[in-house]
């Protein structure tokens, strides 16, 4: 006797190239949800329509009366079930962020909005897929990894280089791949995190960079292998996390509550960088991500060291990451004397989003430094630490 297992996936459409179409003026813009949803239904009908069955009859099977859409069963059957007597089905509902946007318009406030949308329905679904433009997807996947670090369900961002409405689109592969992971693998502990699916590879969301804007192979993970390969056979890598031996204790009453975002800036070093420019970046900032040379090196100017030390005294939080595509920042250069936190092999995208999340969440300067010094959700090879909120008893 076959056991039927149904996995439910929440799909959130934020915009991006995957849903692009031409408006009345002949310009490309993200289409409204109804156009994308109708296309996805017709795509499933294409694969699932039985002989002598009308499109209306197929639609009645594929879309339930209460609005659930079935993922193409032929794709779901690719899931390598350990039990031959178990048959999986993936159902989904698709909602939208209003209005859907090109990802170049993404802002940090939207990261928290996306996270809130997921949190609001987390008990109703087994997994989550976020449709997003590729230009800033690595920032959003990194940000969500921190904001949703305790979710313990798969959240997968995906998109496309060409619109799903284009005959040569990569959208179908990316969408179905993300849906399979979010549904069929929702109980796989190693994949209960924020991830990014692109070109038949599944990456950890806070370890990716966009490295090609012309290819369908858009993303890479410079310091970490993909979590899974979605080829003719789906292969999930045996991922083992480092044991967490230390805890950062935070008084819940001292966590930030207001909706203001911190003033976080980027200081990228280059030959001939001037003091006036450096001080203008540091002055008035809440946090600064330093992109330095090689393994964390910076020009050996007295004025630079003084500027960094002065910023530290003003409790400007500074995180050092390398501007090189692959490698690790080491605490061996002069910046360490100025109290700069070393980011190990964190990507610039993860460094920026972790800084914003940390400063928004923790108002205390030393706590901020502790959080940035550690690997909180696998974003770097720094010593892993967990955050535990405690309720301080007032006397």
Q: How far is CA 216 from CA 53, 195, 220, in A?
A: 35, 18, 12
Q: Do domains 3-236 and 264-392 have the same CATH topology?
A: yes
pLDDT on residue 262: 96
The topology under which CATH files domain 3-236 is Rossmann fold (3.40.50)
pLDDT on residue 333: 58
Asked if the bond preceding 99 is cis, omega within 30° of 0, the reply is yes
- On whether 134 is known to bind a ligand per the annotation, the reply is yes
Mean pLDDT by 10 residues, the chain (395 residues): 92 96 88 93 92 92 92 89 81 96 96 97 98 98 97 97 95 96 94 97 98 96 96 88 78 65 97 97 97 92 94 96 93 70 96 97 93 96 90 57
Pick the CATH number of 264-392 from 3.40.50.40, 3.40.605.10, 3.10.20.30, 3.40.50.2000: 3.40.50.40
For the chain, domain boundaries: 3-236, 264-392
For residue 395, give both structure tokens: 């006397």
For residue 140, give both structure tokens: 């959003």
pLDDT on residue 23: 86
Task: Work out the angle at residue 377's Cα, subtended by the Cα atoms of residues 160 and 105, and round it to the nearest 5 degrees.
Answer: 35
- On whether 25 is known to bind a ligand per the annotation, the reply is no
Closest CA to 358 of 258, 266, 287, 291: 287
Catalytic residues: 17, 134
pLDDT on residue 256: 61
Q: CA-to-CA distance for 137 and 159, rounded, in angstroms?
A: 8
For residue 23, give both structure tokens: 């408006």
Bridge pairing between strands 385-390 and 246-251: parallel
Q: CA-to-CA distance for 248 and 382, rounded, in angstroms?
A: 14
pLDDT on residue 331: 72
pLDDT on residue 126: 98
- 243: alpha, beta or left? (left if phi > 0; alpha if psi -120 to 50): beta
pLDDT on residue 379: 97
Report the predicted TM-score, pTM, of the whole model to 2 decimal places: 0.94
Q: Facing residues of 11 across strands?
A: 94, 129
- On whether 258 is known to bind a ligand per the annotation, the reply is no
> What would the 3-class secondary structure string for 155-182 be?
EEEECCCCCCCCCCCCHHHHHHHHHHHH
Cα 117 to the chain's mean position, in Å? 15
């Amino acid at each position: 006797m076959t056991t039927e297992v149904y996995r439910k996936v929440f799909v959130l459409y934020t915009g991006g190239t995957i849903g692009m179409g031409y408006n009345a003026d002949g310009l490309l813009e993200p289409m409204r949800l109804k156009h994308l949803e109708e296309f996805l239904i017709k795509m499933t009908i294409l694969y699932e329509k039985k002989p002598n069955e009308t499109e209306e009859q197929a639609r009645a099977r594929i879309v339930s009366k209460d609005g659930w859409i079935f993922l193409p069963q032929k794709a779901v059957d690719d899931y390598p079930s350990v039990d031959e007597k178990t048959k999986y089905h993936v159902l989904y509902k698709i909602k939208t962020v209003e209005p859907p946007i090109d990802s170049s318009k993404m802002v940090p406030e939207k990261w928290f909005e996306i996270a809130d949308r997921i949190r609001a329905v987390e008990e109703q679904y087994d997994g989550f897929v976020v449709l997003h433009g590729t230009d800033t997807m690595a920032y959003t996947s990194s940000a969500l990894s921190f904001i949703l670090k305790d979710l313990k369900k798969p959240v997968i961002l995906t998109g496309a280089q060409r619109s799903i409405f284009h005959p040569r689109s990569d959208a179908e592969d990316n969408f179905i791949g993300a849906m399979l992971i979010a549904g069929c693998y929702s109980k796989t502990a190693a994949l209960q995190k924020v991830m990014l699916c692109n070109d038949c590879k599944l990456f950890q969301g806070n370890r990716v960079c966009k490295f090609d804007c012309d290819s369908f192979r858009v993303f890479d993970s410079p310091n970490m292998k993909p979590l899974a390969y979605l080829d003719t056979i789906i292969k999930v890598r045996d991922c083992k996390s480092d044991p967490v031996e230390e805890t950062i204790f935070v008084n819940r009453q001292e966590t930030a509550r207001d909706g203001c975002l911190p003033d976080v800036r980027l200081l990228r070093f280059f030959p001939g960088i001037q003091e006036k420019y450096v001080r203008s970046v540091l002055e008035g900032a809440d946090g600064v991500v330093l992109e330095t040379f090689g393994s964390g090196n910076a020009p050996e100017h007295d004025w630079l060291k003084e500027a960094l030390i002065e910023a530290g005294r003003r409790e400007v939080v500074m995180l050092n990451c390398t501007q090189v595509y692959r490698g690790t920042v080491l605490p061996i250069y002069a910046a360490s004397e100025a109290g700069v936190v070393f980011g190990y092999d964190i990507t610039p995208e993860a460094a920026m989003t972790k800084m914003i999340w940390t400063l928004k969440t923790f108002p205390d300067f030393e706590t901020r430094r502790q959080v940035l010094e550690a690997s909180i959700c696998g974003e770097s090879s720094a010593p892993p630490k967990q955050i535990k909120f405690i309720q301080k008893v007032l006397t």
